[in-house]
Amino acid sequence: MTFVPPTAEELGLYLGLAEIDGERADLLIKQAVALAESVVKPLPDQATAVVLSVAGRAYINPQQVTYETIGPQSVQRPAGSGGLYLTKADKAALKALAGRGGAFTVDPTPDEATASPTWPVIDGRVPGEPYEPGWGYR
């Protein structure tokens, strides 16, 4: 399956808004998809959550305002809570969704390897005789 970007209506539902500017929302979704594709391409099907998060931040707070006073009310937002960007968590989520996160193991043993020794066997060695480091077998 290929990634299908979310719609403006889905962004409005995600943000809990009854009305949404469809053209602006579509632009922000396109830009969020482009940012996400700079990390993982092609985007996995589940990347919709990250795209909605990125577009939602930009829709709600496009100028990255951190402090605002209107009349007797004032609002302080965390720094970096607006604008169009990917957080470190967004990037990590995209990589994990694409199967690129976490630990893995590489087995360097060739498929044709056997359990038999590949080093030269010393002739004349008596089995059970102790090994003398530096001199070989006595």
Q: Is residue 72 part of a domain?
A: yes
- Percent of the chain at pLDDT exceeding 70: 70
Specify if 17 maps to a domain.
yes
Query: Structural domain tally of the chain?
Result: 1
Asked if residue 26 belongs to a domain, the reply is yes
Maximum pairwise Cα distance, the chain: 99
Instruction: With respect to residue 135, please indicate whether it lies within any of the assigned structural domains.
Output: no
Question: By the 8 A CB rule, do 55 and 25 touch?
Answer: yes
Q: Which residues pair with 15 in a beta bridge?
A: none
- Give the CA distances from residue 7 to residues 11, 49, 106, 121, 136, in Å, rounded to whole numbers and listed in that order: 6, 12, 41, 70, 75
pLDDT tens digits, one per residue of 98-135: 887 667 778 888 888 887 766 666 656 666 666 666 65
User: Is 122 part of a structural domain of the chain?
Assistant: no
- 23: in domain: yes
- The domain of 38 spans 8-95
The tens digit of pLDDT for each residue in 84-108 reads: 888 899 999 999 888 876 677 788 8
Residue 124 inside a domain? The answer is no
Q: Enter the pTM of the model.
A: 0.62
Q: What is the pLDDT of residue 85?
A: 84
